[in-house]
């Protein structure tokens, strides 16, 4: 029996960080975009914590409230890097 290996219709261009054939490459974010995404993640984690608290799921709420500062710390560390980006006016 002959088996033909089909190639995907779309070939990724450049390094594929996902390392799955046919998957799109993840774009490199600018430092400002990464900083904004980290702060957005922290806000979403706090909102999830509030949702869980209102649903009387205290264990889940505690997890999401404790996970929010991790994103804030990452954003602060990014701001402290000299090469990351110029200070925001």
Give the structural domain span for 65: 35-80
pLDDT in tens, 15-44: 555 556 666 666 777 778 888 888 898 999
Sequence-distant (6+) residues with CB within 8 A of 71 are 38, 39, 41, 42, 45
* Domain-embedded: residue 29: no
* Domain-embedded: residue 86: no
Is the predicted pLDDT of residue 49 greater than 90, yes or no? yes
* Domain-embedded: residue 48: yes
pLDDT for 17 equals 52
* Domain-embedded: residue 30: no
Is the predicted pLDDT of residue 54 greater than 90, yes or no? yes
CB atoms within 10 A of CB 60: 15
Among 30-34, 46-50, 68-72, top mean pLDDT goes to 46-50
Look at the chain and report how many structural domains it folds into. 1
* Domain-embedded: residue 50: yes
* Domain-embedded: residue 74: yes
């Amino acid at each position: 029996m002959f088996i033909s290996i089909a190639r995907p219709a779309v070939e990724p261009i450049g390094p594929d960080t996902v390392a799955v054939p046919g998957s799109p490459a993840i774009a490199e974010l600018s430092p400002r975009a990464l900083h904004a995404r980290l702060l957005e993640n922290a806000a979403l984690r706090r909102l999830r914590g509030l949702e869980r608290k209102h649903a009387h799921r205290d264990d889940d709420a505690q997890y999401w409230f404790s996970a929010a500062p991790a994103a804030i710390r990452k954003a602060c560390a990014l701001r402290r890097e000299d090469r990351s980006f110029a200070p925001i006016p």
